[in-house]
Every structure is written in structure tokens, then in C-alpha cells.
Structure 1
Amino acid sequence: MRMGGDGKIALVYDCGSTNLRVAAVNEEGEIVAQKSVYNSPRPQPGGKPGWLIWDVEEIWSKLCMLTREVLKRIDERSLSSVIVATWGADGVLIKRSGEPAYPAISWQCPRTQEVIKELVERIEPYEIFRITGYQILPFNTLLKWIWIRRNAPEAFKEAYTFLMMPAYISYRLTGEFHVEPTDASTTMAVDSAKRGWSPEMLDLAGLDEAFFPDWREPGEVAGYVTDEAGRRSGLRKGLPVIVGGHDTQFAIASVKASESEAILSSGTWEILALRMKSYLPSREAFENGALIELDVERGCWNPQFLMIASAVLEWIRKMFYSEVSEKPYEVMVSEAEKIRPGSDGITFLPSFFPGSGPTARYGVPGAVLGLGLKADRAHVYRAALEGLSCQLRLAAELMERSFNVRLDRIWVVGGGSRNDLWNRIRSDILLRKIVVTRFTEATVLGAAMTAFKGIGLFRSLEEAKRSLSYEPKTYEPLEENSRIYEETYRRFISLYEKLSAIYLR
């Protein structure tokens, strides 16, 4: 059955580092058809062990295949536009012909570690944060440029420009080059106050603004589907392609949150973010580990904390529930609901990626403490939900101190918003209201609304959001549980403080 026909449909290329998806979304924000396929970096041919790259031609081919499958399920007369949202920090040096001048280095590749020490000798880390809103992270795009300049200088001689991932896929659709602010703000090379390149940061990689294409804003028309792209993907020639960008920003923009309400995009990683109308790169925000990225709309910034989340729960599934072949997460939740709040004294420290998130300052890896002979896998899973919620509370407290806000409630979107038990635990531990909506696919929703704005269906994102029926569900803290969790949270913080003396020696 083909969906659509009366209203408009936007086609969203939702590209993550583990999954590529093409989704058809109608004006009500509903996904009417979608298809996805696995995505993963691969070892670089001829590179050192551990070097990882993206095969951009493979990604493009997969997206074309997915597009053809989705087009079979919709009325193509309803298709109004295409928009691309991808993960941040990665991109590709390309020649004028569009061929890569050097492989697209993955954010998971360790090679840039060697550049960090050199960088901090040239510029103070807080100065980087003041200019860019970014902490020094191994996957920052700027570090890749410096590494390539030093280790493969011929690549820059052959390169015409550099495209971030969403702009590269848009180029394959339209033949047009551009750079846009949401993904550019993940490079650690943008002057975030001015919403443009920072000459000082670019100079660290021996680059200047002339090397890059023109800036375009999300929601503008990037170009139109070419003959070649149409042959590969099945899209009709001349279909508008709307400027997209970083997936996180579309997820944040999809929610009707005020400046005193945070948005939690919960998936493999969690991002706790705000939409603010001022840029506040304070010393305290820097020391607390915050990031500040550019919003989908001008005049807004997205202060945020990045922390590991469902990747920890997936590790538990593999370790303790591998024999459960059908609906394993339903089994995990069902078992954990039988365990009392506080997990009988078991504390789970979820810092499986030390050096990231609100616990970064402690340098403590993941740990489970308080195990006894009566503990079982359900205890571990519930303790993990509680530990992740304690991590979130710490992030919320740091957010309030860093940006002088009081968070009234937190809107949760993404796959992690579907876990009812986790939402109840979040509310009890954070002592705040947790709100979820019927739209769990926030990146797709935000991108689709931006595309509809781009074709003139809505005058603004706010108008687009007013047209949607969110059907919010609110979780409020239960006093009895919250009293128990106060001790859980105190123990959580105390363990990090005490263990840091061991791991930071």
C-alpha cells in the first residue's frame, strides 16, 4: 500500500554511525514509511592497526538503495523535499570532481590522540572553549585536519574543499557544495558567538575560510536532485534538497521546551541540552565539561552534556541476557521492576567511556559495587538504570550551575524515552518532572519540520511545532522512592570522589 497523496511528505536521510535510515514523514510528524541498514566504519587500507574510516561511496550506495525501497511505499506525488541529518565531527576532503582526496576519518579512530598534546601547547584549552564552545575531544574535526596536514600533506594539495557528512550527502544529491552551522560547530573551528569560522582556530590547521564553501542555514534550499542522483536513488530530478545538519540539533529543536526546560536525547549516548538565546562560555561551564553547539535557528545556542547511556544497557544484555532471543529488553525491564528502589545497595558507575560526560573529572572507569551472593542479573540492570539516572542528575546540576538556570522539567526523546521504568527512576532520582511524547524519533521529526519550513509549508519551526499533537506524558517524583534514592545518589558521588584518588594518580 502506498502512503500519502493528499498532504506533503519529507524524505529524511537519518544517518547514524551504527545505522542508516531513510524515513518518509508527513505533515503530522508521523513516519509513514522507512527502511534502514547497518552502518559501520572500516579499517583503512594500508593504514595502521586501529585506523578507522568511512567508505563514503558505500554510504551513498546504501542510501540510494534505501530510498528506492521507501519510494515503493509512498505516493511519490506527495514527496516535497529531501533533507539530511548525520552524526557530527566527521567529513571528507574532496577534489573538485567530488572524489575523496583522503579517506573520511571516523570519530572512533584513535590516530588524532597524538595531536592533542601539540595543540594545548599552542593554545590554552579554555580559550578554545571560549571561541568554539567545544572541549578538546579526540574526534574533533580540527584535530583530523592537523593530522592530515602533517601525515598526508598531498591530500590538501589535491583537495578542493572539505564537506561535513550531511553536506557531502547533500552534494551527492545536488552537485552543490555548502557548509552549515550545526555540523560545523562540532569541528572545534567555529567562532560560535559569530556563527562562522574562527580564523584563529583554522590557522592551527594551516587553513583559512577561502578553503570552504559558502555557508547555508538549515531550512534553506541546498539545491535540487540531479539526473545522476535520480538514476541512483529513484528520486525525481529537480526535487528540492533542503539544508540539513547535525542530528542532535534536530532532536533538540523538535521539542516544545522553554529555556528553563532541558531536552534529553537518549540513545547509545545521551545528550542533555538547552535552547538558549545567549552564548555563555564561562570558565565554570568549561571546567564542568559542558559543550555549546550552534542551534538549528540563528540566535540560539545548545549548551549540553554528552554521556554514555544505552550502550551500557546493551553491554548488560550481551553479558547477562544473551540467551533471551525474543524481546530481551522487555524481559530485562520485567525482572528489574521486581527489585526494590536502590537495588539492595548495589551501585553502578556507568562511566564506560572515562573522560566523557559529567563524571569526566574523576577519571573513573565503569564499575559495579555492593554485589552479594543474592544479587542477580535483574539487580545489575536496575542498578544500571539508577546509575545512569544519577549521572543525569549530576549533569542537570552542572547545567544549572554552568548556565544559571533552574530546570523545571526534562523532555526525553529518542529510544531511551520508551523505557517506562527508566523514566520513573529518572524522575525519582532527579526530583524533577520527566516528560515524553508520542514522537520518540526526534531527529527525524525535527529534520522533517525543517524541510517543510524550507518549502514554505511553515513560516518557522515554532509554527511547525504548534501544528503537531505531541500528546505529552509526565512522570512526577514519588516521595517514598526519592528518599531512598537520595542515599543512592550520595553514595554514587562519594564513590567517584574516592575512586578518583586511585585512577588519577
Structure 2
Amino acid sequence: MSYSLAVDLGASSGRVMLGHVEKNHLKLDEVHRFDNQMVESSGQLCWDIEDLFQEIKRGIHKCKELEIRPVSIGIDSWAVDFVLLDENDELLTDAVTYRDPRTVGVMEEVDLLISKDQLYEKTGIQFLQFNTIYQLFALQKANPEVMKKAKSFLMIPDYLHFLLTGKKINEYTNATTTQLVNASTKEWDQEIIRTLGFNEEMFLAIQHPKTKLGGLRAELVQEFGFDMNVILPATHDTASAVLAIPEIGKTIYLSSGTWSLMGIENDRPICKPKAKAYNFTNEGGMDGRFRFLKNIMGLWMIQEVRRNYDDHYSFADLVEFSRHVKDFHSIVNVDDPRFLKPQQMVQEIQHYCRETNQQIPNTAGEVAKCIFDSLANSYLQTIDEIEEILETSFEQMNIIGGGSQNDLLNQLIADGTRKVVYAGPVEATAIGNLIAQFIALGVIRNLNEARSIVQHSFEVKKFVHS
């Protein structure tokens, strides 16, 4: 039996998943799960990337304990964050998180050098204050000497793949989220890079999903007692998740987790003015596809609320509490920057409702219902925008990822859109990560076959408007 490993890193946890195809079914087993928390370093919020690598190695060791030797491994994570290496491949920077406030006000400074119209026409990427382009500009202002010394720009999965193999590349799907990749050429846009004064030589060759990087470093082979192919998945977690949509036909998708990402797959970027006005993005996908979508604040809000209540309630508790306050109807704008990294999420929601003359949520149930109703409201608006831009309508949508387990929210979407809503699979990102590896290895022929396999391998729930 041939096994592969998918390492899926999220903003709050990571997992190492073992997968194989047996009798036309994809089998998935979790071998290791671990926390991923932001830490403070030199006054900035950062990811402990060295600890993440140690956790990945622990997952590989657990495979050895199970007497399973995977033939390949691939790593995916969230987007936009990065590290810089010097000429000796040593870290010049911490892996600063996108939630760090260093980019506040930077977008406006970049606008003075290159207009939003020009930037969107070239890259097709949504304007978010934490995009890599603004992180790099903030770093250049604060530490220009670091940018001059940098020889390698590596996004989070790029760096972890480098630690595994010793090979440095920039993977395409994650690179597109930097707002520095030209949507037409699918290469680094040197004009943008030069205009902003970035060090051109630190940007590496862009490689696409399914690329085989080769085997592990010699010292890792010795440590594990076996070698593996390191194969690039779609390293942006949403790009991987979209591969696991169990639908070949026309559908809107919602990748639901810490962030909500809603859109469609397309064979070309859509950089028209209306797409820019509605702030949609054209992120890269596998096989030259584009993910035309909008980034929306997701279940981060309920995660923070749970933390504010000292983890006394489970997510299931908060969903159930919200069912019992049907008469509470306050709505917040989930994409208001105040909800990106507030000191206290519950208080921030209460402040917003007070400022907008709405009923203030006081109980855990009211706070949870406010979040779920607000997310559903944002989703409905985004669907309307997608259909307006594309001048077409959709009969159904697919919700994938951990958030697809929230039956309450799924029903709210079905009721609001009057569309058929399919929810699942839950582990879409790990599944999509494995799909890229399996295609590269010849285990699965193509994406259509992969989606057919997913369709009868994992539970998918159906919701219709009541």
C-alpha cells in the first residue's frame, strides 16, 4: 500500500494526515495534531516556525512508529506571511504574522507609488492591509538593511519545504497572494517590484503544484530511517481545499475556517473594474486555474469569543446557545478592521452594536448568534456580487473545511440564498494537498477523477431552504 503525507498548517493548529487510495476511495487518517499560536518576538506577533518544523518531524516519526513509510510529503499553510534568508541561508527575519499591526496605514503609502487601478489590473489581487506587498514595504521602512541583505524570499510552506529538502523555490498558488505576481504571465512582476524598491534578487523561481522537489536532506533520511519525495501541493491552504470540492459542475464554493473564502474556479483572471470595486481576488490554483473569490472574516470571530469565555464553552455549545435566542437580530460588519485582532472580541462586538444603535449582545448565545447572522449576511452579499460580476446565477454552492460542520450556519445560508447547499468534506485542505501528490505520483489521473473519488469517499450533507 502506497501512502502519502499531507501537512496542513492552520492559524490555530496544524495536523499531519496520512492518506492513500484504496478501491477507488481516498482514505485519510490523522497521525499528529498540534497547536499553532502566535508568539511575541522583538515586539511583533510572530509564528514559531522552528517549532512548527519540529512538530512536522514528530508527525513523520509517528508514521515510523506505525510501521508506515510514506512515499511523499507536501506542506500547505495560510497565505501572505514569509521569512527572508541571507547568503548563508540563515533567517534574517522572524515569521511575522499578518495580524501584526505593522501594516496599518501602509496601503495608503504604497498607493502613492503605484495606483490601485494599476496594481489590480496587473495582479488581480484583493486589497487587504496585511498582503505581503504591504508587509514587505513596512519592513523596508523599518529595516532597510535587512531587505538589502536578503537573498531568498520564502513563504511559510516554501521555508518548511526548504528545511526538508535544501531546495529554495516559490510555489505559485501562495506567491499570487503577495500581490507581486502578474496574473497574465504568472511570474513575478518586476515592474511592481522595482517601483517599490524591493530587492529583486530575493524572489525565486516560481514552481507549480505537482512539482517534485526531490528527496529529503541526508540528515533527515538518517533521522527517520527512510526517504520520501517532497512534492509541492497547492501550498496555499485554500487552493488545496478547493481541489477537494466534490463537484465538477457549476458551483460557488465557500472554504470555511478561520477565514471564509467564497468564489468560483475560473480559467482566467477577472480584473474588470467591478471586480476591483467589490474587492475580489484572483489567486492562483492548480493546473493554471484561478480562484476568483473574496476573503471574508470567518470563524476567527467565534474562536476568539470562545477564548474570551476562557474556553468554558465548546463550539457546539455556542451553536446550541445561539439557537435559543431567535429574537436577537443585531448584525456587525465582519470585515471591519476592528475585528482583525481586537484586545477582546466580545467587547468589540458590543461596542459595534452600541455605536450602530442596535441591541447589545450580553449572553454567550447572543454574541454567537450575532456572529453567525453577520457571517451569513456577508456571504449573501458576496454571492450577489459574484452573480452580478459574472452576469449569471448559480443553483448550488459547496461549503468545505472545518466550518462545514456548522449546520446552523449552513441552514442560514440555504435559507438566505434559496440555493442547494452541500457541506463537506471537513478535511478539504488535507485532501486537496494529497490530490496534488497523488496526481504527481500517477495514483490519480487528473482533477476530475480526484473529485469523483472525493464525492464517494467522504460525507457531504445537503441543505435546502426551509
Q: TM-score, normalised by structure 1?
A: 0.82
**Are the equivalent residues in 1 in contact too, given 2:194–2:200 (CA < 8 A)?**
no
Quick check: 1:41 aligned with 2:28?
Answer: no
**1:302 aligned residue:** 291
Aligned residue pairs, count: 449
**Are the equivalent residues in 2 in contact too, given 1:396–1:407 (CA < 8 A)?**
no
**1:204 aligned residue:** 195
**1:463 aligned residue:** 449
**Structure with more contact order per residue of length (Cα contacts < 8 Å, sep ≥ 6):** 2
**1:163 aligned residue:** 154
**1:390 aligned residue:** 377
- Render the CA deviation track for 1:64-102: whole Å, top value 9, x for unaligned: 1232234423522xx120011011101111124321123
SS in 2 for 1:30: strand
The partner residue of 2:49 within 28, 42, 56 is: 56
**2:345 aligned residue:** none
Of all paired residues, the percent bearing the same amino acid is 22
The partner residue of 2:464 within 438, 453, 476 is: 476
Q: Does 195-204 or 246-255 show the bigger shift?
A: 195-204
Q: Does 174-183 or 91-100 show the bigger shift?
A: 91-100
**Are the equivalent residues in 1 in contact too, given 2:248–2:448 (CA < 8 A)?**
no
**Are the equivalent residues in 2 in contact too, given 1:267–1:414 (CA < 8 A)?**
yes
Quick check: 1:276 aligned with 2:266?
Answer: yes
SS in 1 for 2:104: helix
The 5 A counterparts of 1:130-145 are 130-145=121-136
Q: Provide closer, same or farther for how the CA distance between residues 333 and 175 of structure 1 changes in structure 2, counting only shifts above 3 A.
A: same
Quick check: 1:348 aligned with 2:336?
Answer: no
SS in 2 for 1:52: strand
User: For residues 228 and 263 of structure 1, what CA distance do their matches in structure 2 show?
Assistant: 42
User: For residues 164 and 322 of structure 1, what CA distance do their matches in structure 2 show?
Assistant: 31
User: For residues 163 and 366 of structure 1, what CA distance do their matches in structure 2 show?
Assistant: 38
**1:486 aligned residue:** none
Which structure has the larger Rg? 1
SS in 2 for 1:467: helix
**Are the equivalent residues in 2 in contact too, given 1:352–1:366 (CA < 8 A)?**
no
User: For residues 316 and 129 of structure 1, what CA distance do their matches in structure 2 show?
Assistant: 35
**Are the equivalent residues in 2 in contact too, given 1:249–1:295 (CA < 8 A)?**
yes
User: For residues 372 and 134 of structure 1, what CA distance do their matches in structure 2 show?
Assistant: 36
**Are the equivalent residues in 2 in contact too, given 1:35–1:70 (CA < 8 A)?**
no
**2:368 aligned residue:** 381
**Are the equivalent residues in 2 in contact too, given 1:222–1:242 (CA < 8 A)?**
yes
Q: Provide closer, same or farther for how the CA distance between residues 403 and 277 of structure 1 changes in structure 2, counting only shifts above 3 A.
A: same
Q: Provide closer, same or farther for how the CA distance between residues 323 and 448 of structure 1 changes in structure 2, counting only shifts above 3 A.
A: closer
**Are the equivalent residues in 1 in contact too, given 2:296–2:335 (CA < 8 A)?**
no
Q: Does 407-416 or 140-149 show the bigger shift?
A: 140-149
Task: Identify unmatched segments of 5+ residues in structure 1.
Answer: 1-5, 358-363, 479-505
Q: Provide closer, same or farther for how the CA distance between residues 320 and 139 of structure 1 changes in structure 2, counting only shifts above 3 A.
A: closer
The partner residue of 1:75 within 68, 78, 82 is: 68
Quick check: 1:312 aligned with 2:301?
Answer: yes
User: For residues 383 and 101 of structure 1, what CA distance do their matches in structure 2 show?
Assistant: 42
The partner residue of 2:100 within 104, 109, 121 is: 109
Q: Does 305-314 or 216-225 show the bigger shift?
A: 305-314
SS in 2 for 1:344: coil
- 1:210, distance to aligned residue in structure 2 (A): 4.5
**2:346 aligned residue:** none
User: For residues 277 and 382 of structure 2, what CA distance do their matches in structure 1 show?
Assistant: 13
User: For residues 323 and 161 of structure 1, what CA distance do their matches in structure 2 show?
Assistant: 44
Q: Provide closer, same or farther for how the CA distance between residues 145 and 371 of structure 1 changes in structure 2, counting only shifts above 3 A.
A: closer
Q: Provide closer, same or farther for how the CA distance between residues 377 and 52 of structure 1 changes in structure 2, counting only shifts above 3 A.
A: closer
Q: Provide closer, same or farther for how the CA distance between residues 40 and 333 of structure 1 changes in structure 2, counting only shifts above 3 A.
A: closer
Q: TM-score, normalised by structure 2?
A: 0.88
Quick check: 1:444 aligned with 2:430?
Answer: yes
Q: Provide closer, same or farther for how the CA distance between residues 231 and 403 of structure 1 changes in structure 2, counting only shifts above 3 A.
A: farther
SS in 1 for 2:146: helix
**Are the equivalent residues in 2 in contact too, given 1:220–1:243 (CA < 8 A)?**
yes
User: For residues 14 and 459 of structure 2, what CA distance do their matches in structure 1 show?
Assistant: 28
- Render the CA deviation track for 1:43-73: whole Å, top value 9, x for unaligned: 233xxx4x22334323222221232234423
**1:29 aligned residue:** 26
User: For residues 24 and 402 of structure 1, what CA distance do their matches in structure 2 show?
Assistant: 40
The partner residue of 1:253 within 238, 243, 248 is: 243
Q: Provide closer, same or farther for how the CA distance between residues 415 and 306 of structure 1 changes in structure 2, counting only shifts above 3 A.
A: same
Aligned residue identity for 1:427 = A
**Are the equivalent residues in 2 in contact too, given 1:414–1:442 (CA < 8 A)?**
yes
**Are the equivalent residues in 1 in contact too, given 2:410–2:421 (CA < 8 A)?**
yes
- 1:111, distance to aligned residue in structure 2 (A): 1.5
User: For residues 235 and 247 of structure 1, what CA distance do their matches in structure 2 show?
Assistant: 29
Aligned residue identity for 2:33 = S
User: For residues 312 and 94 of structure 2, what CA distance do their matches in structure 1 show?
Assistant: 39
Aligned residue identity for 2:120 = F
**Are the equivalent residues in 2 in contact too, given 1:29–1:448 (CA < 8 A)?**
no
User: For residues 419 and 62 of structure 2, what CA distance do their matches in structure 1 show?
Assistant: 43
**Are the equivalent residues in 1 in contact too, given 2:114–2:195 (CA < 8 A)?**
no
User: For residues 385 and 39 of structure 1, what CA distance do their matches in structure 2 show?
Assistant: 25
Q: Provide closer, same or farther for how the CA distance between residues 167 and 25 of structure 1 changes in structure 2, counting only shifts above 3 A.
A: same
Quick check: 1:19 aligned with 2:9?
Answer: no
- Render the CA deviation track for 1:264-291: whole Å, top value 9, x for unaligned: 1111221112101121111111111211
SS in 2 for 1:22: strand
- Render the CA deviation track for 1:323-361: whole Å, top value 9, x for unaligned: 44xxx333333344445xxx225223252643899xxxx
**2:344 aligned residue:** none
Q: Provide closer, same or farther for how the CA distance between residues 355 and 263 of structure 1 changes in structure 2, counting only shifts above 3 A.
A: farther
Q: Provide closer, same or farther for how the CA distance between residues 153 and 387 of structure 1 changes in structure 2, counting only shifts above 3 A.
A: closer
- Render the CA deviation track for 1:123-150: whole Å, top value 9, x for unaligned: 1112211111123322221223233333
**1:360 aligned residue:** none
**1:65 aligned residue:** 58
- Render the CA deviation track for 1:173-204: whole Å, top value 9, x for unaligned: 11111112100001110001221111121113
User: For residues 106 and 384 of structure 1, what CA distance do their matches in structure 2 show?
Assistant: 24
Q: Provide closer, same or farther for how the CA distance between residues 337 and 73 of structure 1 changes in structure 2, counting only shifts above 3 A.
A: farther
- 1:383, distance to aligned residue in structure 2 (A): 4.1
**1:177 aligned residue:** 168
